[in-house]
């Protein structure tokens, strides 16, 4: 049986910290626990997988802004963290009400640890139990995979394979194509009504071929079902290959996307392009996606490509999803804008980022477009400072200055330029913990539109004017109407690197 949050509460290592729930999240203690982790880093969410009990001493939270604390809670909730436990003390006497409200709204249990206890002791004690449980789950998953392999060897179809999985895990199993068509299904012997659904991607030769949906009853073991589903992916992939083997064009498309991803030489791409349906001379654009829910996004991305760009393909490689779209030569810029708008209309999961690369002239330049899109994703943490589109979708062309600087200027040269142009502003922020650099960057990015910059920064116009006046005093006067404006704008953008 899986370890629950309630079990951790009752464990002597955590009980010594006198934990108490500060949010009223329904059935919080019945949540399954996958791991116990501790960190003071506020940007930890993208590094988590979900199911963790996260311990923090509160040092970073004590000095963070209220907005940053709320974002921290929301990001953890979006990542699927089981609960957040915060140690209170001299630096953080109480958990801020804004964090509790955010946890309540997002469904993240927030726990106060009222006594100081070494986190390493808690982690060692509880994680040792979880490791033992994980070993047992993996053994169960392997046994299930072997049973399905035996069924496949005896000629069993998808329904029979899924029945083996369902009968062993107690979960209803359904295999669904990326377009939503049910390929096979099986129900556990004893149905207990709707439960928790966990999803596992089933790739075939690097391409998402189907998704395995496991609906686990409320009293079932979701972790066990997920592990078993993950261990049987290869068997389901073999069954799909027998049912619908890929054609030559599809295989050429897979090889093309692998070649683009690895930066293969142009001549090889010129061979693979036409074989996979990509004209060798048509303009193309690459898209790079990094997301904890890449499988979910791939379905949406494929729908966009199939609807508007017949000559297109996508490819999943570990945590990255890439896509390529060819455009008509006479309408390439307009087609790229259509693609940007379609991507910006997506419901992008938290912790995700999408970058659309610059227009490449022909399939031979596709690796360059992808490399520029990937480089743009490296600027994602800075995307909230005036650049990039909303909804986690970034246009590589908005980062042309940063991309040029990253490739052509070494770090020391960039730092010297920023110091000479805006050193006084940087020092002011460091000494007084002000936010003048971000204010200046947003103001410059809006074309020196004070009203618009104030709205983006959520400032009153009078406060915005006061900040600008202080910035002008520090950097030698109002730069508008002078040759210094371009230099200041360049320095502000280089500072983000």
Least confident of 19-28, 310-319, 320-329: 310-319
Q: Look at residue 190 in the predicted model and tell me its pLDDT.
A: 57
First CA to last CA distance, the chain: 48
Q: Would you call 489 helix, strand, or coil by DSSP?
A: helix
Between 197 and 238, residue with greater pLDDT? 238
Both tokens assigned to 110: 């927030």
Strand segments (E) across 224-311: 284-290
Q: Look at residue 383 in the predicted model and tell me its pLDDT.
A: 39
pLDDT band at 327 (very low <50, low <70, confident <90, very high): very high
- For 165, residues 6+ apart whose C-beta sits below 8 A from its C-beta are 144, 148, 171, 173, 186, 214, 228, 229, 232
> What does the chain come to in residues?
497
Q: Look at residue 192 in the predicted model and tell me its pLDDT.
A: 53
Whether 17 has a pLDDT exceeding 80, the answer reads yes
- The CATH H-level (homologous superfamily) assignment of domain 140-243 is GAF domain (3.30.450.40)
Averaged pLDDT for residues 130-145: 85
Cβ atoms of residues 364 and 269 within 8 Å: yes
pLDDT band at 120 (very low <50, low <70, confident <90, very high): very high
Whether 482 has a pLDDT exceeding 80, the answer reads yes
Q: Look at residue 380 in the predicted model and tell me its pLDDT.
A: 63
Q: Do domains 5-117 and 140-243 have the same CATH topology?
A: no
Q: Phi and psi dihedrals of 293, rounded to 5?
A: -120, 50
Least confident of 154-163, 216-225, 455-464: 216-225
Q: Look at residue 272 in the predicted model and tell me its pLDDT.
A: 82
User: pLDDT tens digits, residue range 428-460?
Assistant: 988 888 889 999 999 998 899 999 999 988 988
Looking from the CA of 135 toward its CB, the CA atoms found within 13 Å total 5
Q: Look at residue 245 in the predicted model and tell me its pLDDT.
A: 61
The pTM score is: 0.51
Query: CA 240, CA 202: separation in Å to the nearest integer?
Result: 9
Q: Look at residue 244 in the predicted model and tell me its pLDDT.
A: 66
pLDDT band at 372 (very low <50, low <70, confident <90, very high): very high
- State the CB neighbour count (10 A cutoff) for residue 436: 20
Averaged pLDDT for residues 234-247: 79
Between 1 and 266, residue with greater pLDDT? 266
Whether 302 has a pLDDT exceeding 90, the answer reads no
Whether 387 has a pLDDT exceeding 90, the answer reads no
- For 374, residues 6+ apart whose C-beta sits below 8 A from its C-beta are 288, 355
Residue 17 Cα to chain centre, angstroms: 33
The domain spans of the chain are: 5-117, 140-243, 248-406, 409-495
pLDDT band at 319 (very low <50, low <70, confident <90, very high): low
Query: CA 414, CA 419: separation in Å to the nearest integer?
Result: 9
Whether 382 has a pLDDT exceeding 50, the answer reads no
pLDDT band at 390 (very low <50, low <70, confident <90, very high): low
pLDDT band at 246 (very low <50, low <70, confident <90, very high): low
pLDDT band at 388 (very low <50, low <70, confident <90, very high): very low
Q: Look at residue 1 in the predicted model and tell me its pLDDT.
A: 46
- State the CB neighbour count (10 A cutoff) for residue 88: 18
The overall average pLDDT reported for the chain is 85
Which helix (H) or strand (E) element contains residue 413? Answer: helix 411-432
User: pLDDT tens digits, residue range 52-106?
Assistant: 999 999 889 999 999 999 999 999 998 889 999 999 999 899 999 999 999 999 9
Of the CATH numbers 3.40.1390.20, 3.30.43.10, 3.40.190.10, 3.30.1230.10, which one belongs to the domain with range 5-117?
3.40.1390.20
What is 248-406's CATH number? 3.30.70
Q: Would you call 49 helix, strand, or coil by DSSP?
A: coil
Q: Look at residue 191 in the predicted model and tell me its pLDDT.
A: 55
């Amino acid at each position: 049986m899986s370890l629950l949050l309630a079990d951790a509460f009752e464990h002597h290592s955590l009980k010594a910290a006198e934990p108490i729930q500060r949010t009223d999240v329904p059935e919080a203690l019945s949540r399954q626990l996958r791991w116990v982790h501790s960190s003071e880093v506020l940007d930890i969410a993208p590094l988590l997988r979900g199911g963790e009990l996260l311990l923090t001493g509160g040092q970073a939270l004590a000095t963070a802004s209220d907005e940053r604390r709320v974002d921290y809670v929301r990001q953890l909730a979006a990542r699927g963290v089981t609960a957040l436990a915060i140690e209170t003390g001299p630096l953080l006497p109480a958990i801020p009400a804004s964090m509790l409200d955010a946890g309540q709204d997002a469904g993240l249990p927030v726990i106060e640890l009222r006594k100081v206890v070494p986190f390493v002791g808690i982690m060692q004690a509880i994680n040792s139990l979880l490791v033992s449980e994980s070993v047992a789950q993996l053994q169960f998953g392997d046994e299930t995979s072997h049973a399905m392999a035996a069924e496949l060897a005896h000629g069993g179809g998808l329904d029979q394979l899924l029945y083996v999985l369902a009968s062993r895990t107690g979960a209803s199993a359904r295999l669904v194509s990326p377009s939503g068509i049910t390929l096979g299904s099986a129900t556990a012997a004893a149905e207990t009504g709707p439960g928790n659904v966990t999803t596992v991607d089933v790739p075939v030769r690097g391409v998402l071929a189907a998704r395995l949906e496991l609906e686990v009853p409320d009293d079932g073991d979701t972790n066990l079902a997920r592990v078993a589903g993950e261990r049987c992916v290869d068997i389901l992939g073999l069954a799909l290959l027998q049912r619908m083997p890929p054609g030559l064009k599809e295989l050429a498309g897979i090889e093309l996307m692998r070649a683009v991803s690895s930066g293969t030489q142009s001549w090889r791409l010129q061979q693979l392009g036409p074989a996979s349906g990509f004209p060798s001379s048509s303009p193309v654009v690459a898209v790079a996606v990094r997301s904890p829910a890449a499988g979910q996004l791939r379905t949406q991305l494929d729908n966009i490509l199939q609807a508007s760009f017949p000559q297109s393909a996508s490819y999943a490689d570990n945590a990255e999803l890439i896509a390529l779209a060819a455009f008509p030569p006479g309408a390439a810029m307009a087609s790229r804008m259509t693609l940007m708008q379609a991507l910006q209309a997506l419901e992008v999961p938290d912790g995700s980022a999408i970058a659309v690369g610059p227009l490449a002239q022909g399939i031979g330049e596709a690796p360059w477009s992808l490399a520029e899109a990937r480089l743009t994703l490296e600027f994602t943490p800075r995307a909230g400072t005036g650049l990039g589109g909303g909804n986690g979708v970034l246009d590589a062309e908005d980062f042309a200055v940063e991309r040029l600087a990253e490739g052509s200027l070494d770090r020391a040269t960039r730092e010297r330029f920023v110091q000479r142009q805006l050193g006084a502003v940087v020092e002011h922020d460091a000494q007084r913990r002000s936010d003048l650099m971000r204010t200046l960057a947003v103001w410059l990015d809006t074309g020196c539109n004070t009203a618009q910059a104030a709205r983006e920064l959520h400032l009153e116009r009078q406060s915005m004017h006061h900040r600008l006046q202080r910035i002008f005093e520090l950097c030698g006067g109002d730069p508008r109407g002078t040759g210094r404006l371009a230099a200041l704008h360049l320095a502000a953008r280089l500072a983000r690197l």
